[in-house]
């Protein structure tokens, strides 16, 4: 969905309408003298830390050197 572009005067005059457009999923770019200075986007609730606790695991050998054949594949050797 393309962004809606408005100047500062239009943004001040039509703020309620622009917020409605943002609620519909559009982005609103606000410009001063034709140059973008701000963007209105939908508010997102911050993610909580630790949401995946206990759902992921890292193997004990995670930081061990790669096997020679795998390392060769990454380096482009056959």
Q: What is the reported pLDDT for 18?
A: 96
Specify the CATH architecture of the domain 4-40. 3-Layer(aba) Sandwich (3.40)
Do residues 4 and 24 make contact, with C-beta atoms less than 8 angstroms apart?
Answer: no
Higher per-residue pLDDT: 36 or 77: 36
3-class secondary structure, 75: coil
Domain ranges of the chain: 4-40
pLDDT digits (tens, 9 = 90+) for 33-65: 999 999 999 998 888 888 888 999 999 999 999
pTM of the model: 0.57
DSSP 8-state assignment for residue 62: T
């Amino acid at each position: 969905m393309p962004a809606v572009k408005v100047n500062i005067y239009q943004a001040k005059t039509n703020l309620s309408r622009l917020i409605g457009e943002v609620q519909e999923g559009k982005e609103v770019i606000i410009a001063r003298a034709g140059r973008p200075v701000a963007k209105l986007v939908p508010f997102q609730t911050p993610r909580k830390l630790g949401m995946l606790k206990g759902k992921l695991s890292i193997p004990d050998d995670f930081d061990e050197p790669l096997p020679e054949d795998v390392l060769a594949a990454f380096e482009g050797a056959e």
